[in-house]
Every structure is written in structure tokens, then in C-alpha cells.
Amino acid sequence: MTDAVPTIDPHRTALLVMDYQVALLDPMEGADELLDGVAEAIADVRRAGGHVGYVRVAFTDEDLAAIPATSRMAAAVATRGTALHAEAATSVIHDRVAPEPGDIVVRKVRVGAFSTTDLAAQLDALGIDTLLLAGIATSGVVLSTLRDASDRDYRVYVVADACADPDPEVHEFLIGRVFPRQAHVVTLSDLPGLLGLT
């Protein structure tokens, strides 16, 4: 699955931990393994001197009112009730992978990490040109963020086993057939070497 990739400069790299929230992890099969893996990736990136960014999807009352009826996002949010309300305990980043002071943290109201946040400005301010993507779901935030990041000329790596989708076949198709067109696909075991830790 992985292709040969050179080491990267950790100081110009950010691991984006996307939608690792209680509401989205609870129904996910293998959630404990995902959390363990992402915690390990976070530790590797921090040890190498890289940056960690967190993306969460959560809506205020004003955000919900502003979603037009034509948007499929409105229906998707409605099916979750109040679980993704910005003040709900279920919308927070899981405490096993929670942010630390100085980390990048953004709240979004659409699928991708960039379009409704200041993520790009925060990354640019830190001189980041390389992204490691970890997220739930593969067909949601990971796909949307990968496409946008590629268009913004970031060097992009998808950490395959730090991503998951409610439909495992969709996950495998994206990881194996779609993502390699715009990103390097790596695994958690590749990260130490990629970050120059070995």
C-alpha cells in the first residue's frame, strides 16, 4: 500500500487529527484501536518537533440556522440531533487525543477542514508545507481536506490506518485507488522513519 517516500521536515509538518470526536467515534467499529493509533502518531510528531492540529465539526444555533435548505449538510446534521452542537459534550475532541496548549484547533461547519476555518492562515503562519491526515470519515473530512490541501499546494500524506469510514469498502477504495493520485499513502508504522526518528 505504501510507496517509497523521503523523510520530511517535521518542523514544517502538521498532523491534522480530524473529527476525532465522541459523537463520531462512538458508533465507529474499532474506535479503541483508532484512538490508540492516533495517540501514537501524535506522540511521534511531537517527539520529532512537528505540529499537531485538531479539526472538529460542531454547530452553534446560528450556524444551524444559516445552513440553507438546499444543502445536504442540513439533513446530515439533523440526523445526529444535538450530538454535534458546539456546546455538547459529544462534540468535543476525544480526551484520549485531546489538544495541548499551543496546538492548532479549529471548528468547522462543513465537511472539509479549510473552507469554513482559518486553518490555512494558522498553517501558513507556522511555515507548514506538509500535512499528515488522520480522520473520520475517510469519505468525508479526509477526502474533502485532501482535495483542498492538494489544490493549495501542500505536500499531503494520508495515514491510512489512522482513518476510518462507516463503510470499510469505501475506505479501502479511497485509500487504494483514489488518494494515491494526490497524496502519499502511509501507515502508522511508517511515521517514525518519515519523521526521521529512526
CATH of region 10-194: 3.40.50.850
Spatial separation of the C-alpha atoms in residues 99 and 194, rounded to whole Å: 23
* pLDDT at 76 (0 to 100): 81
Residue whose C-alpha is closest to residue 24's, from 159, 142, 180, 149: 142
Indicate the pLDDT class of residue 2, thresholds 50, 70 and 90.
very low
pLDDT band at 69 (very low <50, low <70, confident <90, very high): confident
Mean of all residue pLDDT scores within the chain:
94
pLDDT at position 78: 81
Query: DSSP letters along 79-105, please?
Result: TTTTTTBTT-GGGSBPGGG---TT-EE
Q: Which residues, including other chains, have CB under 8 Å from residue 13's CB and lie 6 or more apart?
A: 45, 48, 50, 51, 128, 130, 131, 132, 195
pTM: 0.95
Tell me the DSSP string of 36-67.
HHHHHHHHHHHHHT-EEEEEEE-B-HHHHHHS
Tens-digit pLDDT profile for residues 124-182? 999 999 999 999 999 999 999 999 999 999 999 999 999 999 999 999 999 999 999 99
Question: What are the domain boundaries of the chain?
Answer: 10-194
How long is the chain? Answer: 198
Residue-wise DSSP of 126-142: TT--EEEEEEB-IIIII
**Cα first-last separation, the chain:** 21
